[in-house]
Amino acid sequence: MTDVAPDLTDITAHIVSAFVSKNRIDPSQVASLIVSVHQSLAGLGGEAAAEPAADETKSRAEIKKSITGDHLISFIDGKPYRTLKRHVGLHGMSMAEYRERFGLASDYPSVAASYSSLRSGMAKLIGLGQKGRKAKAPASKAKPAPKARKPKSTVA
């Protein structure tokens, strides 16, 4: 039994002709479509080429623009998020890998400033992190015991 390698040129021709028959395309774009389809088919079965990190590094202006008070703009999909950690995790990266991939500083935030302050306020309101202080606070603010009253004299 022999493995017959598919003829990429023949498959490319079938795919391109099917696409062109169902879609409007400028004749000048047909050549680039053929090349694109052929390269895609040739890349199947092999390892996916890693995207160069140099193309993904962002300029200072893009980085500054991505940080707003209410949201952080993701460099992966361009959408705003209050926190990037979950979004980045869904794409198989940690925040450190995300920062490295896009050339961000190690202090690039993973949570929007307004969301962080909101969560901090909520935590303070319910007393998180106050275990040691709350245990001592009631003892210092305890009301003193009521003074004993002098009995009224019954002699008139």
- Condensed to tens digits (0 to 9), the pLDDT of residues 55-96 reads 578 888 888 999 988 999 999 988 999 999 989 999 899 999
Residue 132: inside a domain: no
Write out the residue range of the structural domain in which residue 79 sits. Answer: 57-113
The SS3 of residue 5 is coil
User: The tokens of 101 are what?
Assistant: 């991939």
What pLDDT, on a 0 to 100 scale, did the predictor assign at position 122?
93
What pLDDT, on a 0 to 100 scale, did the predictor assign at position 144?
65
**pLDDT above 80 for 146:** no
Q: Are residues 36 and 67 in the same domain?
A: no
Residue 122: inside a domain: no
Q: Are residues 74 and 27 in the same domain?
A: no
What pLDDT, on a 0 to 100 scale, did the predictor assign at position 81?
93
DSSP state of 80: E
Q: Are residues 91 and 69 in the same domain?
A: yes
User: The tokens of 80 are what?
Assistant: 């705003």
Structural domains of the chain, count? 2
**pLDDT above 90 for 47:** no
Q: Mean pLDDT throughout 21-50? A: 79
Half-sphere exposure of 47 (CA within 13 A, CB side): 3
Residue 62: inside a domain: yes
Q: Are residues 109 and 71 in the same domain?
A: yes
pLDDT per position as a tens digit, 97-141: 999 999 999 999 999 999 999 999 999 999 888 776 655 545 555
Q: What is the CATH number of the domain that holds 105?
A: 1.10.10.1550
Let me know: does 71 contact 84? Beta carbons within 8 Å: no
Burial of residue 58 (CB within 10 Å: 0-12, 13-18, 19+) is: middle
Q: Are residues 77 and 36 in the same domain?
A: no
The overall pTM is greater than 0.85: no
Q: Are residues 32 and 65 in the same domain?
A: no
Residue 49: inside a domain: no
User: The tokens of 10 are what?
Assistant: 């023949």
**pLDDT above 80 for 33:** yes
Q: Are residues 83 and 38 in the same domain?
A: no
